Amino acid sequence: MHLIHVRLCRLADGEPAQEMAREILATAAPGEGVEHVAVHRVSGRETVVGLFLRVQSLAVAEETAAAVCLRALSRHPAWGFVAVSCGAVLVWSLLES
């Protein structure tokens, strides 16, 4: 299982749409391995989407997370977000033990 963060940004302040996590998960194809999606507002303009993927490699997880988020953003232009980064998350507490 891989956790990938996709950082989103938009021009105007505001809350991310309440249905965003559900809609991003629904955008994923059955074979893409997306198990769970969480959306967290970082600031007025920045939001982070966390995708948990069950795939064979980290590279595939990052590619898939980016593709799924870009598809969802293109289907929901009213959200006003663009993706600015996508990558694996380091969990420092696990690295320290």
Measure Cα distances from 30 to 8, 10, 94 in Å: 24, 29, 30
Residue 92, domain extent: 2-96
Residues 28-78 have pLDDT tens digits of 999 999 999 999 999 989 999 999 999 999 999 999 999 999 999 999 999
Q: What pTM does this model have?
A: 0.89
Q: Is 30 left (phi over 0), alpha (psi -120 to 50) or beta?
A: alpha
- CATH at 63: 3.30.70.1130
Residue 33 CA: distances (Å) to CA of 11, 13, 25, 56, 64: 31, 32, 10, 9, 9
Whether residue 13 contacts residue 80, with contact meaning beta carbons closer than 8 Å, is answered with: no
Total number of domains in the chain: 1
